[in-house]
Chain A
Amino acid sequence: MSDRKITLEFNDKVVRQFLLATLVWGIVGMLVGVFVATQLNFWQVNFKTSWLSFGRLRPLHTNAVIFAFVGNMMFAGIYYSTQRLVKARLASDFLSALHFWGWQAIILAAAITLPLGLTRGKEYAELIWPINIAVAFIWVVFAVNFFWTLARRREPSLYVAIWFYIGTIITVAMLYIVNHLSLPTSFTHSYPIFGGVQDALVQWWYGHNAVAFFLTTPILGIMYYFIPKAAERPVYSYRLSVIHFWSLVFVYIWAGPHHLLNTSLPGWLQNLGMTFSLMLWAPSWGGMLNGLLTLRGAWHKLRTDPVLKFFAAAVTFYGMATFEGPLLSIKSVNALGHYTDWIIGHVHAGALGWNGFMAAGMIYWLLPRLWNKPLHSVGLANVHFWLGTVGILLYVAAMWTSGITQGLMLNATTDNGTVLAYPNFVDTLNSIRPLMLMRVIGGGLYLTGFLLLAYNLWRTLRGAQPVNGTVEVFADEPALEARERVGVFGTFLNPPVLFTSLGFGFACAWMFGGDGISMAGMVGLLVSVVLAYAHFESRGKAWAGWYDRLLVNTAPFTVLTFIAVAAGGLIQIVPTVVAQKAANIEDRLQIPYTPLELAGRDIYVREGCYNCHSQMIRTLVPDVLRYGDYSRLGESIYDYPYQWGSKRTGPDLARVGGKYPNVWHLRHMEDPRTVSSGSNMPSYPWLSANDTDVAALPSKLRVQRTLGVPYPNWTPEQVAARVAEQSKAISADLRAAGAYVAPEKEIIALIAYLQHLGKSENPVAPAKTPALHAQ
């Protein structure tokens, strides 16, 4: 290798682009957030307009904040830090530009389609299938650009931030692809390939890990780079960062089922989800302390440096949110907090405090470096910090109080637990109205802080010249020495991987096998552990040497990280998909929807009703007293997508079918307050004006049949005839009750769907358990 040095110029243009996009989309996402929060207080703000209704805008808010705000911030931070950590310019300017513009086009498409009601009906996975394909494509572009850059790196060692980025890229790809597997029925509509309980599990495996691997791991990587840089001192403990990374990657992926506690999800999955969630306390707090203690000796700088203020507060909020998450994953705590505003407070402590403040700190730190000009006003940045902090505290405190209040009221009983203390759901809603208003104020303050940042940025950029960072490197790229390479065989054929695989296989046999296999698995696992220990004792250097080489070999490191995250998902999803299907149901089995009811269900999904109404009566006494017998997993087995929901701003609807006459539903949808005084639900006048899309039904039914729903092979004429017959009957019933709506209107289909909810058949009597036999 020659000693000639060259100056390498980084591609900071794409960093600047992502940075500006972060701010623009962040403000849009927060503005929509404040708007939808206002709608919860004042139903009139829905303006009786379909594309402004809460159910359609709430997904716009969540998608904008997660994928647009944090997404752009993440890409800016990753591209800036990676180039410097590996001493290489991004591999391709074209791929960088494609990544940026492709991602913005996706966000724009989401901002248009979601208010139009084009949705898949799954939280944080609402975007329609053509956009899903675009997301997957652009993510691959990002991955290629990133790994190509690593392949051209001039620094052989991979700093821990790069590990977190690698974990993010491969895990998000896996989660996104699996949860978005769908069969299209048209260019704008599809059904997910998983239904009912399977869909619920896959959705929260994705939903929880979207938080873990989109909102957490990349930001942790950013934390490990930017906090040491801002504090001008190395990370507190590199050892701790190593433990932090591996334990998060291994453990996080298992925790998804904690979003489905006390539901009809099989108990073993709930137990796994709860226990692994509690295990997350350790690595999360290890990471949080590592971030905070990096500021050791630099605490005095917090008085004057807004960057460090934002970073210190962000890491503190990370600690708060990751303490609260496992707490809420304890079944008995979850029984109180789930479906209430407590969860909203929890996620906003993370989103506003952790993600938002990390973004703000990073932007303030990067501005003078990317535009070669000092920040316009440090005073404004400090005002931003305090506005944001007070905003978050108001928001979070309001939501905690609101959630606990509503949870206590909904669960309260009298007469020795046999009668609900607050039988009218709206009473619980009205009791938290002041807190919902406080949320608007808190969110408004937070938004104002970011508007100040935008002003500060604009004033800083005025007349400034963009500048790209440089580094001096040797002209020849250093090649890994032969003894440092791992290779394909070395990746898998080494003691740690072989013994882990062996133990893992035996553990699965023990857990999931029948009597004989289970016993063999247990014995095999014990033998594997003993053999592994014996080998480690005698050949410990081989284990350590392999690990050290792994850290400078990107491909094997990536492959093994992928296997680590995939294992947790496979162990939960494969048994559920194989065992929990309609053919194996011995309890209540859902009656498939008629074509009109299916059309009504798609309207329910389109309007985002799942944002406020659950369809899952939990195995809890207050739930059963309020809504009826607890939900069985067979009762939603044909639901594509599942609609169990995650929030009850309104009551559960799992057994609403037959509870009210058709005319009640009509009045309720036209103006909820006529039948439910004090309700904050929007009015849906367009449902009585728009016609049901009957022409789309044959294609939808064909896809449902492919997915396993037992529909006959109806012709389009037969479908139309069935729709006409049922809709005319409902229309006639409404006329008899003194209200007339033409049979072809959407409200008729929606009423048909709502009246079906809770209808099931029981083809086989429930098998008696051995315990009952014995009695």
Chain B
Amino acid sequence: MFRRLVFEDSATLFTFVAFITAASIYIAFAWRALRMKRPQIERFENLPFETDTPASGADRPASAKRRLDVSANSNRFSAS
């Protein structure tokens, strides 16, 4: 058992098999993914947005809000 491992110099064999294994997986799942239908993909990719995750009161941090207020005021000022 495991004669090849212990006694044989099988460097090329194992790197080759590693490559074939990894490549097979990539190809198989790339094929599978490419065959997915557009509606199916849209359904999956929008799952995170099906449940609202509102930030309290405002999404923006207080400091950003302050900055926006200042900016809005200055715009008003310049507009007038």
* Cβ–Cβ contact A276 & B61, under 8 A: no
Given A155-B50, A271-B14, check contact A547 B63 (CB 8 Å).
no
Given A271-B18, A275-B19, A377-B61, check contact A266 B5 (CB 8 Å).
yes
Smallest beta-carbon distance A574→chain B, Å: 9
Partner of A282 from the list B26, B45, B58, B65 (CB cut-off 8 Å) is: B26
Q: Is A518 an interface residue (CB 8 A)?
A: yes
Bound complex: CA of A282 vs CA of B11, how far in Å? 23
| Chain A residues within 8 Å of B1, by CB | 512, 514, 578-579
* Contact pattern, A 235-247, Cβ under 8 Å of B = 1, otherwise 0: 1001110110011
Q: Is A374 an interface residue (CB 8 A)?
A: yes
* Contact pattern, A 493-522, Cβ under 8 Å of B = 1, otherwise 0: 000000000000001000111100010000
* Cβ–Cβ contact B36 & A242, under 8 A: yes
Bound complex: CA of A160 vs CA of B41, how far in Å? 11
Bound complex: CA of A374 vs CA of B63, how far in Å? 9
Bound complex: CA of A579 vs CA of B6, how far in Å? 7
Smallest beta-carbon distance A224→chain B, Å: 8
Of the listed stretches A119-127, A365-373, A706-714, A744-752, chain B binds A365-373
Q: Is B17 an interface residue (CB 8 A)?
A: yes
Given A155-B47, A518-B4, check contact A239 B53 (CB 8 Å).
no
Bound complex: CA of A243 vs CA of B29, how far in Å? 6
| Chain B residues within 8 Å of A282, by CB | 26
* Cβ–Cβ contact B25 & A247, under 8 A: yes
* Contact pattern, B 23-40, Cβ under 8 Å of A = 1, otherwise 0: 101100110111110000
Q: In chain A, what residue has the closest Cβ to B20?
A: A507
* Cβ–Cβ contact B51 & A469, under 8 A: yes
Given A243-B26, A512-B2, check contact A372 B44 (CB 8 Å).
no
Partner of B18 from the list A279, A512, A544 (CB cut-off 8 Å) is: A279
Bound complex: CA of A256 vs CA of B25, how far in Å? 19
| Chain A residues within 8 Å of B64, by CB | 304, 378
Q: In chain B, what residue has the closest Cβ to A378?
A: B61
Q: In chain B, what residue has the closest Cβ to A83?
A: B51
Q: Is A379 an interface residue (CB 8 A)?
A: yes
Q: In chain A, what residue has the closest Cβ to B56?
A: A372
Given A376-B63, A507-B17, check contact A579 B32 (CB 8 Å).
no
Given A229-B48, A247-B26, A511-B17, check contact A469 B5 (CB 8 Å).
no
* Cβ–Cβ contact B46 & A372, under 8 A: no
* Cβ–Cβ contact B2 & A578, under 8 A: yes
Q: Is A267 an interface residue (CB 8 A)?
A: yes
| Chain A residues within 8 Å of B41, by CB | 238-239
Q: Is A74 an interface residue (CB 8 A)?
A: no
* Cβ–Cβ contact A511 & B4, under 8 A: yes
Given A234-B49, A243-B29, check contact A379 B56 (CB 8 Å).
no
Q: Is A28 an interface residue (CB 8 A)?
A: no
* Cβ–Cβ contact B56 & A374, under 8 A: yes
Bound complex: CA of A381 vs CA of B61, how far in Å? 10
Q: Is A147 an interface residue (CB 8 A)?
A: no
Q: Is A225 an interface residue (CB 8 A)?
A: yes
Q: Is B79 an interface residue (CB 8 A)?
A: no
Q: In chain A, what residue has the closest Cβ to B11?
A: A271
* Contact pattern, A 719-750, Cβ under 8 Å of B = 1, otherwise 0: 00000000000000000000000000000000
Q: Is B15 an interface residue (CB 8 A)?
A: yes
* Cβ–Cβ contact B53 & A242, under 8 A: no
| Chain B residues within 8 Å of A155, by CB | 47, 50
Q: Is A250 an interface residue (CB 8 A)?
A: yes
Q: In chain B, what residue has the closest Cβ to A160?
A: B44
User: Which residues of B in the span 41-79 have a Cβ within 8 Å of any Cβ on A?
Assistant: 41, 43-65
Bound complex: CA of A536 vs CA of B50, how far in Å? 36
Bound complex: CA of A283 vs CA of B50, how far in Å? 28
| Chain B residues within 8 Å of A247, by CB | 22, 25-26, 29
* Cβ–Cβ contact B4 & A279, under 8 A: no
User: Which residues of A in the span 539-567 have a Cβ within 8 Å of any Cβ on B?
Assistant: 544, 547
* Cβ–Cβ contact A511 & B33, under 8 A: no
Given A240-B33, A511-B17, check contact A373 B56 (CB 8 Å).
yes
Bound complex: CA of A372 vs CA of B58, how far in Å? 9
Q: Is A85 an interface residue (CB 8 A)?
A: yes
Smallest beta-carbon distance B74→chain A, Å: 17
* Cβ–Cβ contact B61 & A368, under 8 A: yes
| Chain A residues within 8 Å of B50, by CB | 87, 155
* Cβ–Cβ contact A374 & B55, under 8 A: yes
Q: Is A186 an interface residue (CB 8 A)?
A: no
Q: In chain A, what residue has the closest Cβ to B44?
A: A238
| Chain B residues within 8 Å of A609, by CB | none
* Contact pattern, A 354-376, Cβ under 8 Å of B = 1, otherwise 0: 00000000000000110111111
Smallest beta-carbon distance A297→chain B, Å: 15
* Cβ–Cβ contact A579 & B62, under 8 A: no
| Chain B residues within 8 Å of A235, by CB | 45
Among A225, A373, A544, residue most surrounded by chain B Cβ atoms (within 10 Å) = A373
Q: Is A251 an interface residue (CB 8 A)?
A: yes
| Chain A residues within 8 Å of B14, by CB | 268, 271-272, 275, 511
Bound complex: CA of A375 vs CA of B63, how far in Å? 8
* Cβ–Cβ contact B5 & A547, under 8 A: no
Q: Is A84 an interface residue (CB 8 A)?
A: yes
Q: A234-B48, A376-B61, A378-B61 are in contact. List 12 more A-B contacts (CB 8 A).
A: A87-B50, A159-B44, A243-B29, A247-B22, A251-B25, A272-B18, A304-B64, A374-B60, A374-B61, A469-B53, A512-B5, A544-B35
Q: Could you tell me which A residues sit within 8 Å of B by CB distance?
A: 81, 84-85, 87, 155, 157, 159-161, 225, 228-229, 234-235, 238-240, 242-243, 246-247, 250-251, 254, 266-268, 271-272, 274-276, 279, 282-283, 304, 368-369, 371-381, 467, 469, 471, 507, 511-514, 518, 544, 547, 575, 578-579, 584
* Nearest 7 pairs of A and B residues by beta carbon: A375-B61, A372-B56, A275-B18, A279-B22, A368-B55, A378-B61, A234-B45
Q: Could you tell me which B residues sit within 8 Å of A by CB distance?
A: 1-6, 9-11, 13-15, 17-19, 22-23, 25-26, 29-30, 32-36, 41, 43-65
Could you list 28 A-B pairs, sorted by A, with CB under 8 Å? A84-B51, A85-B48, A85-B51, A87-B50, A157-B44, A161-B48, A235-B45, A239-B36, A242-B36, A271-B18, A275-B15, A275-B18, A279-B19, A368-B56, A369-B56, A378-B60, A467-B56, A469-B52, A469-B53, A511-B13, A512-B2, A512-B4, A512-B5, A514-B1, A514-B4, A547-B32, A575-B5, A579-B6
